[in-house]
Every structure is written in C-alpha cells, then in structure tokens.
Structure 1
Amino acid sequence: MNFLVFLGHLVFVTSIIRSEKAGVAGADDFRYLTGYAGLNQTGAHYQFTEYMPDLSVVQMDNTIESSCGVGYWLLYDEVDYDPLTNETECHFRPYECGNWSPQCQNMVSSLRYAGSPYGLNDDYYNLYEGTIFRGKEFRGNTNAADLGDLDMAVSSLIVTGQSAWTFYTDVNLTGSDVCVYADEHYTYGTIDLDYALVQDMEKLGLPDNSIRSVARGCLSDRVLGQPGGERRSQDASN
C-alpha cells in the first residue's frame, strides 16, 4: 500500500468533524488537482476541488499517472483515505504539473486536501486518526474544547497559514501542551502557502492518541517551528 502527498469534497464525506467559522475564498485561492490518465497531462482527466473518498465515482480509480495542481493534496491508494495501510509516501510540490513517479501511478483511490476550505493560506488545522494523515479527520479554524469522535485518537496533524496553534492533552485547553507554527513556505505569484506537517506524535514529544483540545495562538513554552518572518522559504516559480 502507498500513501502519496501532492504539494500543490462531492460533500458526502462522513469522516470529517469541524470546529470552524465560515469564510469566503478569494480569486487567487483556487485550490484544485487535475488528474490525468496518461503521462504528461494527457488522456482522460478530472479536476478535483473537494474531498473525494472514492475515485471510482468519477471513473478515475487506479487511473491517474500525471497531474497539475495548486494546494496541499493528500492522495491514498485505498478508498476512505486509507485508514489501515503502511507508510510509503510520494511527494509533490504545492504548485506543479508533472508525471507521478512509477510506484505512484495507477494506484490512487481517494484524495483530499489539507487546509481551509475558505482560503488557500487561511489559518487552519487538520487532525487525523492515523499517522501520515490517514483515516478520520477533525478540522477547524477556531478553538476546540474537545475533539468529538477523535478524542484521544489523533496520530498526525497539519497546520496551514501564519497563526500558531496550541494542542493540549486534556479537554477544555488543559493538560500538557505544545505550540505549532508553519515551518514551510511556498510562493507562486500572488499565492502563498505556509504549512507544517506532523506525521506522528513523536515529532511533538507527545504520546500517540493524546491530543484532546486545540487553541489558536502560541500558548505553550514548547514550540515547534517559528513565527512567519523566520520560516525558510521556497519560491515555486523558480
């Protein structure tokens, strides 16, 4: 089994829990992934802009060999975001057209994006039940005093935007805590994307399945990443 990450929802998904305030995406915030059945962006294709738990719905299951995209897309070789597979990965840049590596071609069965549905670089967090962003999800842009069905079930996370988020090992923003800032920055023209990837809880120094609540801002003495001015930057237009 492979898990892929494309750096670059048909909303019938039942595996999402949200804590968020609605917003409106700007014209420069169009997130998409166009998957092609042939190499070099040829053949049958489909443009994804939302979560897709089963690519067979659009006749693209185990079909894609190349793509173009904007945003941070997570690709899986099983339906419903691969809750039980191993941890092989393929990586692509946030703004890219290209062929997928041979071991990643013709094997994607579900996909979703990380980050806010309202703006590409809005402040946001995604929490996942599996390591490397697999399985069920809790996501939001506001404080969460508890994580609903993902209580004591978080094994990886992604933050996007320039705000820090503080994660706690007890409900109601109590217990041990750690603050996470985005530590990667990509820019392409007028579009920016800041993010941090935490593939397992070891990176945070927390036990697996210990996160129980979330607060906006850096409210902990333990900090992963740094505020925006000190992020390392990569220009995707080069």
Structure 2
Amino acid sequence: MNKLETTVLLAAVLQWVAMAEGGVAPTLELFTQTNHNGAVYTINSPHHNLANEGFNDVTRSICGIGLWFLYEDKDYSKHSKFVHTFASPTYDCENLESSQRDKVSSLRYAGMDDIDFPTLTLYHDKNQCGGEFLVLRDTDSLPDFNDKTTTFAVTGSSSWTVYADADYGGDSACMTPGEDGGWYYGVWTYSELNMKNDVVSSVRKGCHSDRVFEFDLSSDQQNPASNSTEGGI
C-alpha cells in the first residue's frame, strides 16, 4: 500500500450520507500574510505537496474548521521540524508562530467530510506523520497497517479501543475524545496510552478496556493554538 494513501473501511456512500445529513466539512484557508491578509488558498482535502498548487512555503496565518495538521515538509514527512495542529468546531483564525511562517509544505485533516462523524485515524509516525489508516467500524485485523501505528487521532463523540493483537486480544487502551463546545476530538501517542510502539493489530468502536485515556483539551501540550512539535520517530 502507498504510504501516503488513506484506506477507508466503509464504502464511499457513507461519506455522502454524512454530508447529506448536514455535517460540517473540514476547511482550511492559507494566507500569505499574518492576521488572515494577503493571498489566500482554500483547502478542502489533503495536500501532500503544496508546491503542486503554487502555495509552498508561503503560509503565515490560517483560518478554518475541523482538525488539521500542517507539516514543514512535503508528504507529511516524519523529518518535518514542526507539525502544527489546528482544531476548531467553528470558523476561527490564528497566526502561525514566527518559526513556522513561510514553511508549510503539506497538510491534511483527521476524519471524514463531516467533523462530527466518529472516526479513528492511525498514523505510521510520531506527530501524525507518515502513512495513515482511517477506521470507521470494528476491525478485527489491520492487514495493511498491522503493527505500524505510532500516533492516533479521534473525531466525533465515540471512544475507540485499540488492541495489541488481532481479534481484539492482548494489551488494550481506550481513547475518549475531549469536548469543545459540543465538538469532540483527541490526539494521542502510543506512549500516552502506555502501549509499545508499532503493536496495534485490531480496533473496536467504543470503550472496551479498563485502561481509559481521555484527551485533555486544557493541557498546554495539547492546546491546538500552540501545539508545535518536533517531527520524526
């Protein structure tokens, strides 16, 4: 499987159903100046290389909706020196930190085309870098992503349980998203779940483990307005 490809476990009709029910789609606007001024480029889908759009290394401020990750390098690379997280259930704006301005080369959102649709995204590398695998339902094995997960992102109000073994066996951890004004999301690393790296082999929707980890939106480390982390693994 292509490392950059997202594998969706339900038919595309589910995306259509979510949108038909009036869900809010993730959107991000990139601006060439601070305070949402200058030229603007509107994003509604993942972009692995902004150079293809003529908007590489020019972003200084952003506005949008949803849970987004912005990377210094193309292809959501683990070698990016920063990965910036933007999270908002309503249209909001922010300036990038001075060290991140004119450096964004790729970006993508977590979840589906409805920011409230319950999803779990598995990422190959630290800080939501590398390949990703989108989960929408109970999955007793991960043939294309077995023992490859380092970080996790949840959208929607549902908890998710991950297991070290196939068929929901072995060590497990339940991830419960935090709430922001009726909107739910969360981001975790394997170490925050007290699990080993690259061990997840199956996933269940809901909380089915005695070990429960709720995402804390009040934590400075997890504050989306200031989250800037070192890439790599």
TM-score grouping bracket, smaller chain normalisation = 0.7 to 0.9
Kept in 2, the 8 Å contact 1:138–1:147? The answer is: no
Give the deviation of 1:232 after TM superposition. 6.9
Correspondence 1:204 to 2:193: yes
Kept in 2, the 8 Å contact 1:13–1:51? The answer is: no
| SS of aligned partner of 1:221 | coil
Residue 9 (structure 2) aligned to one of 1, 4, 19:
19
Superimposed CA distance per residue, residues 195-230 of structure 1 (whole angstroms, 9 cap, x where no aligned partner): 1110x211111100011110111111111128xxxx
1:1-238 mapped onto 2 (5 Å cutoff): 14-21=4-11, 22=14, 23-25=17-19, 26-27=21-22, 29-86=24-81, 88-94=82-88, 95-117=91-113, 119-182=114-177, 184-187=178-181, 192-198=182-188, 200-225=189-214
| Alignment RMSD (CA, Å) | 2.2
Kept in 2, the 8 Å contact 1:127–1:139? The answer is: yes
Give the deviation of 1:14 after TM superposition. 4.3
CA distance, structure 1, for counterparts of residue 127 and residue 194 of structure 2: 16
Give the deviation of 1:40 after TM superposition. 2.0
If the length of structure 2 is used for normalisation, what is the TM-score? 0.82
Kept in 1, the 8 Å contact 2:69–2:83? The answer is: no
In structure 2, relative to structure 1, the CA distance for the partners of 1:93 and 1:122 (3 Å cut) is closer
| SS of aligned partner of 1:24 | helix
CA distance, structure 1, for counterparts of residue 140 and residue 168 of structure 2: 6
Unaligned runs of 5+ in 1: 1-11, 234-238
CA distance, structure 2, for counterparts of residue 129 and residue 13 of structure 1: 9
In structure 2, relative to structure 1, the CA distance for the partners of 1:103 and 1:59 (3 Å cut) is same
Kept in 2, the 8 Å contact 1:166–1:214? The answer is: yes
Counterpart residue number, 1:9: none
CA distance, structure 2, for counterparts of residue 27 and residue 50 of structure 1: 18
Counterpart residue number, 1:236: none
Letter in 2 for 1:20: L
* Identical aligned residues as a percent: 26
Unaligned runs of 5+ in 2: 219-233
Superimposed CA distance per residue, residues 128-172 of structure 1 (whole angstroms, 9 cap, x where no aligned partner): 000111000011211112223321010000111111111010112
CA distance, structure 2, for counterparts of residue 144 and residue 20 of structure 1: 11
Kept in 2, the 8 Å contact 1:17–1:139? The answer is: yes
| SS of aligned partner of 1:37 | strand
CA distance, structure 1, for counterparts of residue 27 and residue 154 of structure 2: 19
Give the deviation of 1:96 after TM superposition. 1.8
Letter in 2 for 1:110: S
Superimposed CA distance per residue, residues 101-147 of structure 1 (whole angstroms, 9 cap, x where no aligned partner): 11111001100001223x11111100000011100001121111222
104-113 or 77-86, which moves further after superposition?
Answer: 77-86
Kept in 2, the 8 Å contact 1:52–1:112? The answer is: yes
Letter in 2 for 1:207: K
In structure 2, relative to structure 1, the CA distance for the partners of 1:202 and 1:128 (3 Å cut) is same
| SS of aligned partner of 2:64 | strand
Give the deviation of 1:99 after TM superposition. 1.9
Letter in 2 for 1:165: W
